């Protein structure tokens, strides 16, 4: 407590305080007050003022909690996945603003990396060759104010967390993400559009048929084993007909 005398003995009291409060969902938002003071020349009143800095942190939720945020609190869904995954399945009425976009650069280094990617990750998992979207933050800013309630989603949860960090740095205050992404969302939780379930939108490439191929080969081997076991003479004749 500080007392300053003015003129003929009239006293003015000024108090200064610093405090912080937190809001606990999964992670909290903090209000941090910083005090600044300035002093005028003699005969003038000392002036104290405070500036309020809001530090927002990302709120991580599960699928059911995310559904409640959308239905009850008016959160808008932003899908940050690549174009291919978004087209396979996405939450109805969601906004598609990808964190990564297809890399179509044609410099030598990029061409080599693209070929390596397409022959491995692209072939087996159906993943596109991408690069960071330089317009991501600006695209979000052009469509939403910084106090908008945003629920970011991706397939596994990593891209949405990265996108949330960028938007937080850009001044967005109400950001939530679904932990583990859409792959953890049970069918029917959100109304969706696309040819597959949300949880399966990340599956593509050879891995999608690997299970079927394994099942067919396993069935053939089991049938061959049973045939040899129960019909050994016929099996021996068939083996004799096989070219050596």
**pLDDT for 165-196, tens place per residue?**
999 999 999 999 999 999 999 999 999 999 99
- Better pLDDT: 228 or 182: 182
- What tokens were used for 14? 């000024």
Ranking 37-46, 92-101, 119-128 by mean pLDDT, the lowest is: 37-46
Q: Confidence band (pLDDT; 50, 70, 90) for 11?
A: very low
Q: 111-140, pLDDT tens digit by residue?
A: 777 667 566 654 555 567 678 999 999 999
Cα separations in angstroms, 230 against 85, 236, 238: 49, 12, 14
Q: pTM higher than 0.75 for the full model?
A: no
Out of 12, 13, 14, 154, pick the active-site residue.
154
Angle 121-124-129 (CA atoms, 0-180°, nearest 5)?
Answer: 30
- What CA–CA distance (Å, rounded) separates 222 from 236? 17
Q: How many CB atoms lie within 10 A of CB 82?
A: 23
List beta partners, residue 21. Answer: 31
Cα separations in angstroms, 62 against 7, 99, 184: 63, 21, 8
Task: Look up 154 and say whether it is catalytic.
Answer: yes
């Amino acid at each position: 407590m500080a007392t300053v005398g003015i003129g003929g003995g009239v006293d003015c009291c000024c108090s200064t305080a610093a405090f912080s409060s937190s809001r606990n969902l999964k992670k909290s938002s903090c209000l941090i007050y910083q005090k600044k003071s300035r002093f005028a020349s003699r005969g003038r009143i000392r002036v104290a003022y405070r500036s309020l800095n809001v530090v927002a942190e990302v709120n991580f939720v599960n699928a059911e909690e995310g559904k409640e945020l959308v239905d009850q609190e008016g959160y808008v869904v932003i899908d940050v996945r690549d174009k291919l995954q978004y087209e396979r399945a996405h939450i109805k009425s969601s906004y598609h603003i990808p964190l990564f976009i297809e890399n179509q650069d044609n410099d030598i280094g990029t061409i080599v990396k693209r070929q390596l990617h397409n022959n491995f990750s692209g072939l087996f998992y159906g993943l596109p060759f991408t690069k960071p979207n330089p317009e991501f933050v600006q695209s979000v800013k052009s469509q939403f104010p910084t106090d908008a309630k945003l629920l970011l989603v991706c397939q596994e949860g990593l891209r949405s967390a990265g996108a949330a960090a960028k938007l937080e740095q850009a001044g967005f205050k109400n950001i939530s993400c679904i932990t583990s992404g859409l792959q953890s969302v049970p069918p029917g939780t959100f109304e969706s559009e696309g040819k597959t379930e949300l949880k399966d939108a990340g599956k593509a490439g050879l891995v999608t048929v690997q299970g079927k191929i394994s099942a067919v080969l396993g069935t053939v081997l089991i049938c061959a084993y049973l045939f040899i076991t129960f019909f050994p003479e016929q099996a021996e004749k068939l083996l004799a007909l096989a070219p050596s």
